[in-house]
Structure 1
Amino acid sequence: MKFGDHLNESAVPEWRNKYIDYKFGKKKLKECKKVLDLESKPWERELSTSSNLSYLSHQSLRSRSGNPSKNYSLLQRQCIKAFLQNWLIETELKKANDFYLWLLEQSKKTFLVLQQQLSIYSLQRDHEAHLLQRLPSPFGVTPKKYGSIGGLGQSTSAVKTYFEKWKHLIDKHGLWPSWPKGLTNVWNNLEKNHRGRETFNRACLPVTAAQAEKLLGEALIDFYNYLQLVKTFRDLNVTAFRKMIKKFDKICKTEELASMMQFAKNNYPLFKHVDINVALMTQRMQKTTSAQATGKVKLTDENEDPIIFWETQVTEWYTKDLVSSNSAQKRHNKRLKKLSVQYTLNEQMIHRNNRAIVQMFFSGIGIGISATLITYTLYLSFFYRHDFTLHKILFPLWGGWYLILMLATLFQLDCFIWHRIGINYRFIMLGEFHSKNGTQLFNNDFATSAISLQLYFLTFFVVSCAICAVISFHWASLSPCGFIYLGIVLFLFVCPNGLIPYWNKVAGTRKWLIVTLFRLIFSGFYPVEFGDFFIGDIVSSLTYSMSDIATFFCVYSSTPNSQCGSSHSKAVGIMACLPSYWRFMQCLRRFSDSGDWFPHLLNAGKYMLGIIYYGLLCAYRLSGSHVRGPFIVFAALYAFFAAAWDLVMDWSLFQTTHQNWMLREDLYLAGKRNWKTGRYSLRGKLIYYLAMIWDVAIRFQWIVYAVAPKTMQQSAKTSFILALTEAGRRFVWIIFRVENEHVANVHLFKVNGELPLPYPVYEGEETPDPIKSDTISLSHLAMSLKEPIAAYHSMLRRRTGTFDSLSKSIPWAHASDFERPPTFTSDQNVQDTDSESEMESVT
């Protein structure tokens, strides 16, 4: 594998701008080669002997690198100054080195806090063990024997075990309802104008040693993975620097490698440990990762290599200090071996284990056949005979399923687009860096992206839907195919592993969908995570499918089929209002959790307008022109508000940038910047302008209902076509919404989750009492650091208020749509001061 491809596949997406720009360097070398080709001209050789101006500047570089000057031509000296000195060292190496120093500072502070946490945990564990030894048994009988009299204890124990399993299952998937943590402080936050920060002063029960052990275990593994990222960042930049000089020497016929490497090693901390890591990185690049290559190196002195030293200490903590038995130690050792971050795989390993070809082949055949069958049923629905009403009834029943499956298929296309342009969507949606699973997300090969697996999973739903739909359209009367397909959907979700090939690989996807839909239905009872609000927004574009739920049960009930349409059934309108209601409750929950009226109350107002809009649309269909006026007013208000929210809040467009008119600075979908000017092409930016027009146009589709005749308003064909355009709008919205979230992570250099710690962090040497402990997130550790060019922090806003504060907050308001792991501190006043000073430096 070429190093350029290796670097592209191994680079952390959120840190990509901090690496040495290897591809840009190769383009500059081509320019140097063109310039050196001129040296063969006679007049150029004369100029080379008569001029010594560039030679003097080259001598200054030689004095910095410590290498004696060589007999280079004028053009060679000019290339050395332009490429090596001005670009590679002064620009690229300095950029990578500065960011590496910031990463070291953050890692060191995290290491010290974890060290403090382990010492407190050791005290608490010894204290609890001492208490257990002194605790006497009641009546001299063990609890097991005492509870088994007459079999009563056994039955009670069985019931208790059963409920404990259910409790564990609910806890594991986060399905316990909870009160809003900031409900009691909302009014105080409004009075003090504490906008933009989550409520940190939540009362928290003291943790036990077992709970602390679990929290510390997750935090240590998370830090272990983070150190591997930092180490690979260092190794890749060192290797890129060395290979750039080797290419330069080959093209320009110079001998600068040894002197430049020595100069970098003497002046840049990034190269301080080059002798240990570069050789391993070069030798094993094709077979393994640098993290694995150097993972067995154990150091006892932090000055030798701080990253490997911290990694060694974390490994010992996790496998020795945080275990209570030999079996636990074996589990921890096994888990560490499985969590080696696979930044890149060699081609032989990828193709040997590549199942994506089989999955894509099956998916292509299945979706192709299904598309033909679905198109046939749509043809029958649009061109049925007026005296054959069966197709008119079946059309909305299957049209709702068609829209759901189409949007799910388009979502896979979204994933492919993100994969191609380098957006870390899997971390945004699923948090795949989380220490429970490890990660392979930084490998950019399609075979490891899981897109083919998800499409394979979806194909079973699409094929079964198409077959059932065709059968129902050719049945003599209303068939039970609707119930049959509903049973197939439920079976596919609960299907045991091994019955269908690769079905065990999608177990996590099935669980995630079930849990997220359950949390969506009971919105308001759960904190809003990314999946909750994201699925909620998608479902809000499937109001046609939601309405068809009422139509489905009406058709198969004793109600006459003529009374099941949208012009006769109130239930259809109620079901259409549900998605907006769920999102409305999520916005209120976000406001209650954070005490932040902006943007959550405004967003709740938008969805309240949506509820009114769909309610009036139902009334308009039921009563005709009696509510036409109010319907037009609220439809216009909702469309304008929703379109503005999409563009300004969700996509963070309409910013006053210097280069991209009415857009933002980072435009991943616009392609790569021009390597000379640093600007995006007009063709690339046109994608954003067209998406803005498309979004606004579809938001105003209600005009069709307002201006069309009555028969057009109640037409199932019209409703399906408009629902189809709304699904297309949501497909585009999803692309830019996730891109905008990735831009936020890039500005924050966010590559891992924020896991809570069991004990508070103390600045002094005072040893805290673990029994009275609160928790604090690792994200709090970086608050006192000066982040390099950090644009914002999602939990923080300035207190100055009014229009100036709002204008600065709007481009980043999307970051608070969902709850990130909370940060807890024992001193709220100290945190407020730190937050204020940080925002002053950022803004």
Structure 2
Amino acid sequence: MKFGKEFASQMVPEWQAAYLDYACLKILLKQIQHWKQKTTQPDTPPRLPRALTLYRAFSGLIQRQNQRLNSFNGEDTENQPILVNFCTGRKGSGKYETTFLMAAEEGGECEQQFFRRLDNELNKVDKFYRSKVKEVMEEAQTLSKQMKALIAFRIKVDKVAAKFVCAGMVGMNVFNGEAQSNDSIEDNEKHISLEIEEENSKHMMSSDIASLNILNHVKLNEAIQTHFPTIKQTELNFSKENLKRIEKQLKQAFIEFYHKLRLLKKYSFMNILAFSKIMKKYDKISSRRASRNYMRIVDNSYLGSSDEVTKLMERVEATFIKHFSNSNHGKGMNKLRLKTKKERHRISFCTGLFVGFTAALILALILIIHARNILDKQGKAQYMENMFPLYSLFAFIVLHMILYAANIFFWRQYRINYTFIFGYKQGTELGYREVLLLSFGLAALALASVISNLDMEMDPKTGDYKALTELLPLILVTLALVILIFPFNILYCSSRLFFLTTLFHCICAPLYKVKFQDFFLADQLTSQVQALRSLQFYICYYGWGDYKHRQNTCKMNDAFNTFYFVVAVVPYWSRLLQCLRRLHEEKDPMQAYNGLKYFFTIIAVCTRTAYSLNAGTGWRIVAWICSAIAAIYGTYWDLVADWGLLQRRSKNRWLRDKLLVPYKGVYFGAMALNILLRFAWMQTVLNFKVSLHRETLAAIVAGLEIIRRGIWNFFRLENEHLNNVGKFRAFKSVPLPFNYEDDEDRDV
């Protein structure tokens, strides 16, 4: 792999703009090379015979190395083509400026432009590195204060436990008739307390022993004490449960901090290596010796000479191993280091196997339908009314999962840091292979159930269908739900727990603080309204016993029709409450406009549902108007707010300034497709004459909405990624357990 591609692959995506612009410098070098080739005489001097080198005296490797070192130290500076100076500004800041001493030569302007751009890149990288080192040093001070409070908290908890032990010993002596005096009890308490302090002092940092007086200026943050943000507790509760929660939070904070230090150290190394590579290319093209002189400046810069990050990493390792791993070096380093997820061949094999099963079952289903001429039989309408809604649920879920797998593939392809944006725990996120495995596994089971259901026979005496084959859809749904909530650590337990937690936050909106993954999942649910209605149909169909005769009376029931409205509105209502919660916390008026979009959609969904249940001209006109308003508003919001497109003053006309996909036609095609698919469900109101069953048409429209959501997902996350890049946000913030009083005063 060429260094340019390797350099790009090793970048922190959110810091991409802060790296050395290697590609631009290579373009400038190509211009210099083109100029050299253009001005070089075609006649080349004759080469010296190689045999002459055999008669030269061998001076030794060490001597040549010393000569090279002397030249590097400045003894041969007269022939240097460049002179690099560090110019100090008024406020103490400075920048590097290179003077190209051979600018008067023919073609020297190109080389002068190269060094001017090189200086700008060095100053940019050095400034960014300084700012990040300053941030981590300040964060290190905060973590040091947190550790002092933790150690003091440990001592206090052990003292409380020791008092209970002491009291138990005293009570036991009294019970045995060997009562002790109060003086002896106090002496025992002091003795035990001193032993605990001596034992805990071994766990303290040798440079700064924590004092119990720290706890007088510290209180626990709300996240430690309660899950409800409205409750405040300022008093410290010295219990072992609180100690475990505090240690867990601080452990996670240290792991994230160490991850940041590693990336910062890697940032320094990769940029220094990039400067070295580009200067070697310059020496090769220009036939000059400028790389040693310039790299000496790079090595002496803050980027190359600062060792704060390395020392800080060593201190973090020592502290983490001592206080969070019981001085077990291997265990501590395994927790600190990032766990690289290994690609397993068995996942690819099983995915291919299920894909083959799915394709074979689809082919078998088509052949069975045509061979038995099922489409022309009398039971077709009965099957479409009762069984099709049951099996279409799996089609909606599988389609959504396949599109999500495609999104993951393209997010990785264009280096979108979706794991950081979603807040996945490192190494637990699912790749596109795992998602495809789950989706095609579910598809194969559902298709096998469909084929088995087609072979179902009815008892001519009772008029009932065979219970086993009729219950297959219910068994499959139950199996999927059981696997989803399965508590044991198999079948991607961490991902299932993450999904269920996020789903719970969506259902309980606005009680929880809204994170990106919360409203992202709620948006996915708004595209699965038909799937939610299918779940409602499951309850009605099997709960009221209609499955025995393959008939349903659901739509004749007022309760079912009422919940037909409620189920469709719930996802949009959840998003509306999330917008209101963010409006209250962030004071951002854009959240009010976003909530208005979901309010219009709720009205449109209700009017369309009312029209589908009570077909009338009045309901049709109202549903058409409300649906058109919601579609226009939603389309504009997708393109402008969620995707960040339609920018008139952008350097990319009607697009963003920064684009990850190199082909602009992809964005225009996505915008046109979004508009088309947004208005596809208007068919439910306009009632164009289509030779399809009503359930089939509803399933197709729902599938088109899921496809639109899949396209929306990629560009929505691309826009979020670029916003993080613009603010250089590459790490998730971990809430700290302790809050100092001086921090509160500073915030005020």
TM-score over 0.5 for the pair:
yes
SS in structure 2 opposite 1:62?
A: strand
Q: How does 1:778-817 map to 2 (within 5 A)?
A: none
Change beyond 3 A, Cα 1:429–1:534? same
| 1:599 maps onto 2:590 in alignment | yes
Q: Which amino acid aligns with 1:558?
A: G
Q: Deviations over 1:301-326 (max 9, x none)?
A: xxxx1111111222222233x35xxx
Change (3 A) 1:493 1:708: closer
Q: Where does residue 637 of structure 1 map in the other structure?
A: 629
The change in CA–CA distance for 1:714 and 1:618 in structure 2 (over 3 A counts) is farther
SS of structure 1 residue aligned to 2:738: coil
Q: Is the CA contact (8 Å cut-off) linking 1:216 and 1:758 kept in structure 2?
A: yes
What is the one-letter code of the residue matched to 2:83?
A: R
Q: SS in structure 1 opposite 2:680?
A: coil
Distance 1:384 1:110, change over 3 A: same
Tell me by how many angstroms 1:555 deviates. Answer: 3.0
Aligned position for 1:254 = 288
Deviation at 1:176, TM superposition (A): 12
Which residue number in structure 2 is paired with residue 414 of structure 1?
407
Structure 1 residues 468, 496: closer, same or farther in 2, change over 3 A? farther
- Corresponding residue number in structure 2 for 1:214: 248
CA contact (8 A) 2:405 2:431 kept: no
**Corresponding position of 1:558:** 545
Displacement after TM superposition at 1:637 (Å): 2.4
Kindly provide the amino acid, as one letter, of the partner of residue 115 in structure 1.
S
Distance 1:583 1:612 in 2: 14
C-alpha contact 2:647 2:654 (8 A) present in aligned 1? yes
C-alpha distance in 1 between matches for 2:339 and 2:685: 56
Instruction: Using the TM superposition, give the Cα deviation of residue 239 of structure 1 relative to its aligned residue in structure 2, in angstroms.
Output: 0.8
Q: Distance between the aligned counterparts of 2:336 and 2:529, measured in 1?
A: 42
Distance in 2 separating the partners of 1:452 and 1:262: 47
CA distance in 2, matches of 1:525, 1:120: 31
The alpha-carbon deviation at position 179 of structure 1 amounts to 4.8
Do the aligned partners of residues 580 and 496 (structure 1) sit closer, same or farther apart at CA in structure 2, a change above 3 Å counting? closer
Deviates more, 1:100-109 or 1:449-458: 449-458
Deviations 1:754-789 (A, max 9, x none): 1122333566xxxxxxxxxxxxxxxxxxxxxxxxxx
Query: Which residue in the other structure is 2:192 paired with?
Result: none
TM score, norm. by length of structure 1: 0.67
Alpha-carbon distance between aligned partners in 2 of 1:709 and 1:453, rounded to the nearest angstrom:
40
Q: Tell me whether 619-628 or 16-25 shows the greater mean CA deviation.
A: 16-25
Aligned partner of 1:384 in structure 2 is 375
Letter in 2 for 1:41: Q
Aligned equivalent of 1:362: 350
1:704-723 equivalences under 5 Å are 704-708=683-687, 715-723=694-702
Distance 1:269 1:636 in 2: 59
User: In the aligned structure 1, how far is the partner of 2:456 from the partner of 2:152?
Assistant: 73
Gap change, CA 1:656 and 1:110, over 3 Å in 2: farther
Question: How far, CA to CA, are the matches of 1:585 and 1:328 in structure 2?
Answer: 45
Whether the aligned pair in 2 keeps the contact of 1:378 and 1:395 (CA below 8 Å) is no
- Deviation readout 1:473-520 (Å, 9 max, x if unpaired): 3323462210221233135436697xxxxx947222222223333443
Matched residues in 2 for 1:629 and 1:142: separation? 84
Contact 1:67–1:259 (Cα < 8 Å) also in 2: no
Given candidates 310, 327, 330, the residue that maps to 1:329 is: 327
Equivalent in the alignment of 2:131: 102
Counterpart position of 1:647: 639
For structure 1, which segment, 657-666 or 464-473, has the greater mean C-alpha deviation from structure 2 after superposition?
A: 657-666
* 8 Å contact kept, 1:621–1:713: no
1:23 aligned partner: 23
Describe the SS at the equivalent of 1:760.
strand
Who is 1:790 aligned against? none
- Out of 287, 300, 303, the residue aligned to residue 270 of structure 1 is 303
Deviation of 1:74 after TM superposition, in Å, equals 3.8
Call closer, same or farther: CA 1:250–1:566 in 2, change over 3 Å.
farther
**What whole-Å deviation, never above 9, does each CA across 1:675-726 have from its counterpart, x for those lacking one?**
xxxxxxxxx2232222222223322234323322699898112211211111
**C-alpha displacement of 1:260:** 1.4
> Residues 691 and 117 (structure 1 numbering): CA distance in 2 closer, same or farther, change over 3 Å?
same
**Paired residue type of 1:488:** L
Structure 2 residues not aligned, in runs of 5+: 46-78, 87-96, 177-222, 458-464
Letter in 2 for 1:480: L
Aligned equivalent of 1:309, options 311, 317, 322: 311
Residue 278 of structure 2: aligned partner? 244
Give the counterpart of 1:405 among 391, 398, 415.
Answer: 398
Letter in 1 for 2:735: P
CA contact (8 A) 1:215 1:756 kept: yes
Alpha-carbon displacement from aligned partner over 1:511-567 (angstroms, at most 9, x marks no partner): 222333344334334333333221111111011111112222333333572534699
CA distance in 2, matches of 1:642, 1:654: 14
> What is the aligned length?
631
Amino acid of the residue matched to residue 434 of structure 2? L
1:759 corresponds to 2:741: no
- Structure 1, gaps ≥5 residues long: 46-57, 147-173, 183-201, 274-304, 344-349, 442-448, 498-502, 672-683, 764-824, 833-843
Q: Are the counterparts in 2 of residues 113 and 761 from structure 1 also a CA contact under 8 Å?
A: no
Q: In the alignment, residue 270 of structure 2 is paired with which amino acid?
A: L
Q: Which amino acid aligns with 1:252?
A: S
CA distance in structure 2 between the aligned counterparts of 1:131 and 1:690, rounded to whole angstroms: 67
For residue 61 of structure 1, the aligned residue among 74, 82, 88 is 82
Query: What residue is the counterpart of 1:318 in the other structure?
Result: 320
Equivalence for 1:225: 259
Q: Which has the larger radius of gyration?
A: 2
Map residues 153-164 of structure 1 onto 2, 5 A cutoff.
none
- 1:137 aligns with 167
Q: Is the 8 A contact 2:100 2:112 kept in 1?
A: no
Secondary structure of the residue aligned to 2:725 is helix
Q: Which has the higher contact order (CA 8 A, sep 6+)?
A: 1
Q: How does 1:364-513 map to 2 (within 5 A)?
A: 364-371=352-359, 373-374=361-362, 384-385=375-376, 387-388=378-379, 389-392=381-384, 393-432=386-425, 437=426, 450-476=431-457, 477=465, 479-493=470-484, 504=490, 506-513=492-499
Q: Give the corresponding residue for 1:114.
A: 143
* Residue 537, structure 1, aligned to residue 567, structure 2: no
| Separation of aligned partners in 2, 1:205 and 1:602 | 41
CA–CA distance in 1 between the matches of 2:518 and 2:224?
A: 12
Residue deviations 1:595-650 (CA, integer Å, cap 9, x gap): 63633443333323333322222211121114223222322222222222222222
SS of match in other structure, 1:241: helix
Structure 1 residue 736 displacement after superposition: 0.9
Is residue 614 from structure 1 mapped to residue 605 from structure 2 by the alignment?
yes
- Report 1:669-688 matches (<5 A): 669=661, 671=662, 684-688=663-667
Give the percent of matched residue pairs that are identical in Structure 1 and Structure 2: 25
Kept in 2: contact 1:566–1:573 (CA 8 A): no
